[in-house]
Amino acid sequence: MAHEYEINDMAKEESWRMFRYIGEMVMGFDTLSGIEPAVSIYGSARITPNDPMYIQTEEIARRLGELGFSIITGGGPGVMEAANKGAKDAGVTSVGLNIALPEEQVCNNFANKTVTFKHFFVRKVMLVKYAISFVIMPGGLGTLDELTEVMTLMQTKKIKPFPVILYNSAFWKGFLEWLRSEVLGRGLVSEEDFSLLRICDTPVEVAETVQKWYIKHEIAGRKAVS
């Protein structure tokens, strides 16, 4: 009987967990409603403010902000902090979607709209849902996870096809060569899966790529509606 009670208690706990997931979703939707158009910027949390990549990320976010795009990041340090800083300097909405971690990560001071999530998958939904482009700065396992997840969502047509910008061609060169030689070479992906990837090496290139795509598709969308 004791074992049966334990099973029932676990089932109840799992049922209530679903409400916590839903609560985080609602909190995210309520907070982020109306921030579009926005660009999500991903990258390493480990770089410091004197790192050239920090400075370039800040400029990318500032230039995008000056074009009217809100900036969304994971809310942490490193690339995320730099992007939120650039957005704040441009005077646009600077979103930090923080994650509660054992080491008590707090959202950086440059985000002016913040949400802290307990569950990674809810946070990932919010990072993708409101973005019309994704800028992938150099990073580690988390950045690779976010890059491949975005590409998978597009590949499986779960989200619309948006530009995915890989910043710093030297950093991504080996990864792309491996994808083409090994993964594409074995028929595990299709050539068209690469069609949305853009390689940029300057903040100006990033801003121009996003702006051109947005203008083109905004005009096309309005014509289709009318």
Average pLDDT over residues 83-98: 97
Residue 200: closest CA among 213, 188, 211, 209 = 209
Phi, psi (5° rounding) for residue 160? -65, 155
Question: From CA 120, how far away is CA 63, in angstroms rounded?
Answer: 29
According to the model, what pLDDT value does residue 28 have?
84
For the whole model, what pTM was predicted? 0.88
The tens digit of pLDDT for each residue in 172-210 reads 999 999 999 999 999 999 999 888 899 999 999 999 999
Calculate Rg over the CA atoms of the chain.
Answer: 19
> In one letter, which amino acid is 78?
G
The encoded tokens of residue 185 equal 């070479």
The tens digit of pLDDT for each residue in 153-172 reads 999 999 989 999 999 999 99
Domain ranges of the chain: 2-225
DSSP-derived secondary structure letter, 39: E
According to the model, what pLDDT value does residue 11 have?
58
Pick the CATH number of 2-225 from 3.40.50.450, 3.60.15.10, 3.40.50.300, 3.40.640.10: 3.40.50.450
Is the model's pLDDT at 219 over the cut of 70?
no
